[in-house]
Amino acid sequence: MTRFLLTATALSALLTAMPAAAQEMRIGLQDDADILDPDQSRTFVGRIVYAGLCDKLVDLDGEANIIPMLATDWAYSDDGLELAMNLRDGVVFHDGTAFDAEAVVANITRSMTLEESRRKSELSSVASIAATGPMQVTFTLTAPDASLVAQLSDRAGMMISPTAAEEAGADFGQNPVCSGPFRFVERIQQDRIVLEKFEDYYDADRINIDRVTYLPIPDTTVRLANLRSGELDMIERLAAPDVASVSQDSGLTMQETVGLGYMAIYLNIGNGERSETPMGQDPRVRQAFSMAIDREALNQVVFEGTAVAGNQPFPPTSPWFNTDLPVPARDVEGARTLLAEAGIDRMPVEIQHANNPVVTQMMQVVQAMVAEAGFDVTLRATEFATLLSEQTAGNFQLSRSDWSGRPDPDGNLHQFVTCEGGINDPRYCNPEVDRLLNEARASTDPAVRKAAYDAAGVILNQDLPVIYLGHQTYIFALDDSVQGFQALPDGMIRLQDVTIAE
């Protein structure tokens, strides 16, 4: 008996003394990230890597609400011209530099002033930032901006080590130093980005993965094949046609969530000569075009039912969706009547779109649908960089494009449809819409904002500088050994609480 006890004690001591096997996670991404400097980067996948590498002032939860991260709480002043944030204690950057108010000031100042910074427009309402305590900062604004906190939930709010940023300057992206759960190990362009667990992370108890490798694999078939063969533990943006086979595979699991963005067609209304068509000049023609589209059928045919049909910049699941403007059913007769009112029997239309299979199929379905109402659509497939420059230059009649979305409604609307909007490629301009959207931006009262967005939505739904088609879903496929992952509406991969079963 004594011997048994001794053996048992010795065995249990041995077992507890043995470290758990190192957990490695390999994640397949759709593209390669660009420069790994939150101030300079602009790709979606770059943001996925940052979710492991760089913590932000604030984060999003599953309902796209803004929650504390490096800032514990915040408040706007009564006139909306100041935003004060209290910061988390006991946080350090990967190089040992302490995180404090001075670090935040240095970060925001860098985002606003670095020549190569791409964050300037996101912080355009910030006049200055100051440390108003060792662990408190205050933003002074040029005008009230309710969307600022939401901007800080993305790259503008990512905190990098001021010491490393000072030393590296614009080359910071070659060796990024942040304060997230994982630290940078190496990057080989187009091959891999490797991060390892940061032992001094303030929330280290929730991090069970020791090492994470991100591998860009653009081909969806190959990405899924890698997951099936066990080379990867997880892939992002699973293609809709693969959903059925993944859900039947007992070795795999799926997580999906409706994204924050939208799929749309932009209509040239005032951007040069090509806007001078009935489509550009007569709202009735645009309405007819929109009415002839069956959005639910698009979702079923092209996305196997995984997307969400939509007619607004926010998905029907969003609290900002205007329920008085429900997603319309297809109405070919109504479309014909409107066209007849505009004095048109049949008219030619050209749509430019990105030359990938999903978008091409989607536009072919639209082409067939609107043909019944009287539109003879020519499709012009272009490669994405060209599409972007043609759209900016006004060399388009209709242009099919996506927006990945922002947590604050302002980010899905203001820049696209206000007269001076930075990405207003249709060059739509309506002073009333400007007034409403500026009012919504300036107020911190959700009820006031909702009323303004609803009112603007009604006007936009008549003028139609943008025809919204629907909202994509982010679908992740995982090996069934991966547990604890939750898909969030921004499509990022957060590794807090994720474990890999042995």
Partner 1 sequence: MLIYIAKRLLIALPTLLIVSMLVFGLQHLLPGDPVLAMAGEERDPETLARIRASLNLDQPIPIQYLRWLGGVVQGDFGTSLRTGEPVSALIAQKLPVTIQLAVMAMIFAALIGIPTGIIAAVNKGSAVDWAANLVALSGLSIPNFWLGIMLILLVSVNLGWLPASGYESPFVDPWRSLQTMIMPAFVLGTGLAATLMRHTRSAMLGVMSADYIRTARAKGLTRREVILKHGFRNALLPVITLTALLFGELLAGAVLTEQIFTIPGFGKLIVDAVFNRDYAVVQGVVLCTAVGFLLMNLIADVLSVLLNPRMRAAL
Where on the chain is the footprint of partner 1 (CB under 8 A)?
32, 34-35, 37, 40, 42, 115-116, 118-121, 170-171, 173-174, 188-192, 215-219, 221-222, 225-226, 228-231, 382-386, 388-390, 392, 415, 422-423
Specify the residue, 372 or 384, whose C-beta has the smaller distance to partner 1: 384
Tell me how crowded residue 365 is: count the other CB atoms within 10 A of its CB. 17
- Least separation in angstroms between residue 32's CB and partner 1 is 7
Tell me how crowded residue 337 is: count the other CB atoms within 10 A of its CB. 15
Spatial separation of the C-alpha atoms in residues 32 and 216, rounded to whole Å = 5
- Least separation in angstroms between residue 400's CB and partner 1 is 16
In the structure encoding, which two tokens stand for residue 158, read together? 């990512």
- Least separation in angstroms between residue 439's CB and partner 1 is 23
Specify the residue, 77 or 124, whose C-beta has the smaller distance to partner 1: 124
Beta carbons within 8 Å of 109's beta carbon, 6+ residues apart: 129
In the structure encoding, which two tokens stand for residue 286, read together? 């645009």
Specify the residue, 339 or 354, whose C-beta has the smaller distance to partner 1: 354
- Least separation in angstroms between residue 431's CB and partner 1 is 20
Specify the residue, 360 or 382, whose C-beta has the smaller distance to partner 1: 382
Specify the residue, 21 or 385, whose C-beta has the smaller distance to partner 1: 385
In the structure encoding, which two tokens stand for residue 17, read together? 């003394």
Spatial separation of the C-alpha atoms in residues 100 and 23, rounded to whole Å = 31
Specify the residue, 78 or 115, whose C-beta has the smaller distance to partner 1: 115
- Least separation in angstroms between residue 26's CB and partner 1 is 9
Spatial separation of the C-alpha atoms in residues 247 and 220, rounded to whole Å = 16
Please provide the distance, in angstroms rounded to a whole number, between the alpha carbons at the two ends of the chain: 33
- Phi first, then psi, for residue 483 (nearest 5°) are -125, 155
DSSP string, 70-86: SEEEEEE-TTS-EEEEE
Specify the residue, 72 or 382, whose C-beta has the smaller distance to partner 1: 382
Give the residues across from 92 on adjacent strands.
98
Spatial separation of the C-alpha atoms in residues 251 and 241, rounded to whole Å = 18
* Residue among 275, 425, 271 nearest 350 (CA): 275
- Least separation in angstroms between residue 393's CB and partner 1 is 9
DSSP string, 95-135: TSPBPSHHHHHHHHHHHHH-TT-S-TTTTTTEEEEEEEETT
Spatial separation of the C-alpha atoms in residues 45 and 27, rounded to whole Å = 11
Specify the residue, 300 or 415, whose C-beta has the smaller distance to partner 1: 415
Specify the residue, 29 or 285, whose C-beta has the smaller distance to partner 1: 29
In the structure encoding, which two tokens stand for residue 27, read together? 């994640």
- Least separation in angstroms between residue 190's CB and partner 1 is 4
- Least separation in angstroms between residue 161's CB and partner 1 is 18
Spatial separation of the C-alpha atoms in residues 401 and 272, rounded to whole Å = 19
* b/e 303-319 (16+ beta carbons within 10 angstroms → b): beebbbbbbbbbbbebe
- Least separation in angstroms between residue 271's CB and partner 1 is 13
Helix H or strand E segment including 409 = none
Spatial separation of the C-alpha atoms in residues 169 and 39, rounded to whole Å = 11
What is the CA angle 123-128-133, rounded to 5?
Answer: 115
- Least separation in angstroms between residue 187's CB and partner 1 is 9
Specify the residue, 116 or 166, whose C-beta has the smaller distance to partner 1: 116
- Least separation in angstroms between residue 33's CB and partner 1 is 8
Specify the residue, 231 or 434, whose C-beta has the smaller distance to partner 1: 231
Encoded amino acid at 485, one letter: F
